[in-house]
Chain A
Amino acid sequence: MSAILNVEGITKRFGGLQALTKVTFDLPEGQILGLIGPNGAGKTTLFNVINGIYSPEEGRVHFRGKDITGHKPYHLSRMGLARTHQIVRPLNGLTVRENVTAGACFGRENQKLGRAVQIADEVLEFIGLAERAEQLASSLNVAQKKRLEMARALASRPYLLLLDEVLAGLNSSEIDGMIAIVRKIRDQGVTIIMIEHVMKAVMNISDRIIVLDYGQQIAEGTPQQVAADTRVIEAYLGDPKLAERLMKEE
């Protein structure tokens, strides 16, 4: 298995704040990588660097063998990289179908509008939003908006999908539904990195996990290895009750 993504020594600073320090990992194709860590650990910043929103001060990112450091997000989308946002960002004034159509239009396959609408309908069917296609995106509830974000990302037919807390704010049955969807996406051959605080889910679904703390990569390995790592327990899992409480507050 070859690596679809190589992240080498990524360092990102915001003024005096060291958001990421020499983050390095390779991601084999077809895997699900879980990215965990306390709030403010730099997880979303890492997504923003991979995704081209920020350029790193140091380090390179290679995607499918090409150096993509500093590429614009729209170039990366064409190359097959898609993401969802932690705080959902639907195109509120457009319908659900139009949102997903836009994903297909401007994504990797750069589809014509007519075909993009077909793809949008297929993806909406898959994700379970088909009956809402005509509604304005603003009229959806949070769980539906999360699905919409997924649908939009999927419609671009990405090779690599970055999922930023798609489970946050969902109730347990919605979480189960979402996990099933993530599994299905992986089974279609899409590589996934997911940032997640819902430990049960991330431990279950990930092939590998990376733990960030204060921008440092403090552990990497299978879910079992990570869960047993003393530094991880100290930094993050340490007090499971506290973690649970934090999750509920979100």
Chain B
Amino acid sequence: MKNWLNPGLWFTLLLIALLGIWPILGQNAAAREVIFTVLLSVVFASSLNILLGYTGYVSFGHIVFYGLGGYIGMFLIERYNVSLWIATLAGGAAAALLAFLLGKAILRLRGAYFALATIGINEAMRAFVNNFAPFGGPTGIELKFQVYKAYGGAAQALWLTYYTIFALAILVVLVSFFIKQSKFGLSLMAIREDEDTAEVMGVVTPNAKTWAYVLSAILPGMVGVLFFFKNGNVEPGDAFRLHFSIENLVMVMLGGQGTVLGPVLGAVGYQRLRGFLLTNPVFKNIQLSVAGALLLLIVLFIPAGAVGWLRNRLPRLRKVLP
């Protein structure tokens, strides 16, 4: 298992560990909130990267998995009083199931058609949940305060969700890395480079694409549960925010699609930028336009993203930066 010695993997893990440990050391609740958002983006962007970066399929509506996972988790917690762990797993499973079914249907589409279909699905899901009484319709689901008692009170529960997302951020890097080093990863990259050729070479493309889609959906489904559990309520507008999906695309593109480190760097960098913009009087209302402009600049000038650019400049880094 010489893969374990890859310096790029350790660098990425170290980066996440340093970020994640910082609020824990000082027991700093404000820092925890900031880093929670960053780690959430790391998980989301790295998951999206499996589909976008490895397989070459652009999903604008990836947020649907986060929203659905969140809803399923909150529903189970609120209605059946299940533990956060089971709810989180159920959220991931629901996202995986949706991705599996969708994959069979829309992964036949290529390029822009697939991207459009993913947006349509997100909007359809939002409209459905908005009118679905068991999920509270437009008002959504709200947790009663007693729910948090099982975790030692609200303050403890917030730390608990933080530790969990920290663990998921580590997990997503390991998953991304080992997929990329595997035969399955090679089949995805073959599809990205030329899907017809991949078929001729023997890649069973419908299966590979479906599994890539499922794998990219599970963790967003799980973090959806964590986020809305922490939040205390979930509403259709929050759960299926399309622009959150697009911001995650920006993160992946910024850091470098198809690399393990890229989405992590992109998520950290973008969230820092966003934090700056939101607190800046000039930019706070046009923060999303900056994201849009950023995406445009990346696509025009460094389509490979930061890590991709480095890899292209210094071919020796290709081995080091997975």
Measured CB to CB, the residues of A under 8 A from B are 51, 53, 72-74, 77-78, 83, 85, 89, 91-95, 98, 101-103, 105-107, 110, 112-113, 116, 134, 152, 156
Contacts and interface: CB of A to CB of B under 8 A. Distances in A.
A91 B196 CA distance: 11
B56 to A, nearest CB: 9
A94 B189 CA distance: 8
A53 B204 CA distance: 14
Given A74-B199, A101-B186, A93 B204 contact: no
Contacts of B200: 51, 53, 73-74, 77, 83, 85
A74 B183 contact: no
Of the listed residues B187, B199, B201, B204, the one surrounded by the most CB atoms of chain A closer than 10 A to its CB is B201
B182 interface: yes
Contact of B201 (A92, A102, A134): A102
Interface string B196-208: 1111111111000
Contacts of B315: 134
Contacts of B196: 53, 89
A106 B201 contact: yes
A73 B190 contact: no
B230 interface: no
B189 A106 contact: no
Contacts of B205: 74
Given A91-B190, A106-B187, A113 B182 contact: yes
A105 B187 CA distance: 9
A102 B183 CA distance: 8
Contacts of A107: 201-202
A72 B199 contact: yes
Nearest to A91: B193
24 contacts: A51-B200, A53-B196, A72-B199, A74-B199, A74-B202, A77-B201, A89-B194, A91-B194, A91-B197, A94-B189, A94-B193, A98-B189, A101-B186, A102-B186, A102-B187, A102-B198, A102-B201, A103-B201, A105-B186, A105-B187, A107-B202, A112-B183, A113-B182, A152-B201
